[in-house]
Amino acid sequence: MLKRLLGKKKAERVASTTLDPNNIPRHVAIIMDGNGRWAKRRGLPRTMGHRAGAEVLKKIVRAADSVGVKALTVYGFSTENWKRPASEVSLLMNLIGEYLTGNVQDMHANNVRIRFIGHIEGLNEQLQRIIADAEALTKDNTGLMLQLAINYGGRDELVRAARYLAEKVGAGEMTAEEITEERMAQSLYTPEFSDVDLLIRPSNDFRISNFLLWQLAYAEFWFTDICWPDFTERVLFDAIRAYQQRERRFGGLKTEE
């Protein structure tokens, strides 16, 4: 067992060293999908899939930081997820609190900065306190920024930003002509790390599920049929390697040889 484990770790180190350090995506976003399907295939309750997925996130945060990713935004709970059974929603909320309580000190020690994006005020008060404490503890860290999207919806984010700017105009603090793409980006939940470079979606779904609609405008998409609980550091490096093989033109022409 130990030999197999060491072999796996060596393979992951080799995979990471084959990446071009000068072409690492600055902002990576992941839709952590497939927890329920992973559990069902194993005859386990969906809750076990969600717990396994939370464990995977710990490893991926470390791996992303190790290769120089500056921001990692993960989709933890959408505004549409409230439609799920109350027992599953409760489990997910508890898992978020447990994840933070159990890992925030380690992430702080590793210089990770934690931010939450979404309608946090719509969560229960205990979870809001845990979130606020995690953000306060890590706010001065200068390493990887981990942005957890909780009670988040891309359309809801755009509506909130539009209302904010409309209020500014109504109060005479700015004119309608001053509403630019830059102002809009700064009014979103992600003013520091807005544009996503690489979106990763596991579990063989090919949609963005109302996630970071503005920020994904020119992101590179990478899909895999691997469910999130089976996602590894090496899979992350494979996604980054695929990103590095693409030419990003942002609407321009292909670079001449």
**Helical ranges in 110-253 per DSSP H:** 125-138, 154-170, 181-186, 233-244
137 and 167 Cβ atoms separated by less than 8 Å: no
Longest dimension (CA), the chain: 68
Q: Which H, E and C letters describe 139-167, residue by residue?
A: CCCCCCEEEEEEEECHHHHHHHHHHHHHH
Q: Which residues are catalytic?
A: 33, 81
Alpha helices (H) in 29-153, listed in sequence order: 35-41, 46-66, 86-109, 125-138
Contacts of 3 (CB under 8 A, 6+ apart): none
Nearest one of 211, 202, 209 to 148, comparing CA atoms: 211
Structure token pair of residue 161: 């930003």
The angle formed by the CA atoms of residues 236, 33 and 9, to the nearest 5 degrees, is 30
Distance, in Å, from the CA atom of 139 to the CA atom of 152, rounded to the nearest integer, reads 21
